[in-house]
Amino acid sequence: MKRYIGWKIAGGIVLAVVFFFALGYGTMYLWNWLIPSLFNGPVITFWQAWGLFLLAKILFGFGGGGGGHEKKRRWKEKMKAKMQHMSPEERERVRNQFEKCMGGRWGWNAPKEDLPNETKEQV
């Protein structure tokens, strides 16, 4: 197993280089295909395409999916704050509406009163 680690490292380096050039040339190709004909913009080089790509990443974010848990936590806190100011009847109505809306596909986990008759008997 240890003797293959050198090949894995070399393969990773080769893939990184291929990815680097493919991303640069892909950005350059798309820019040079669209922008000059649509907006009379300039034709760019490989390095300008990389600069454009990095600028877009800086402006629009690097992705990575971070912050998803933070957004969920903030949403939960916001809903708790809203629910605290409601009467018990209003809370139950909101919970039922939420279950009705987010109950899952094809009625899974949906409130029983909203299910068709044949499904009520199966549940």
Q: Where are the domains of the chain?
A: 2-60, 75-122
Instruction: Note the pTM of the prediction, 2 decimals.
Output: 0.49
Rank 88-92, 95-99, 110-114 by mean pLDDT and report only the highest.
88-92
Round to whole Å and give the CA distance between 49 and 20.
11
pLDDT category of residue 53 using cuts at 50, 70 and 90:
very high
* Coil, helix or strand at residue 46: helix
pLDDT category of residue 106 using cuts at 50, 70 and 90:
low
With b for 16 or more beta-carbon neighbours within 10 A and e for fewer, the 4-32 pattern comes to eeeeeeeeeeeeeeeeeeeebeebbeebb
CB 81 within 8 Å of CB 91: no
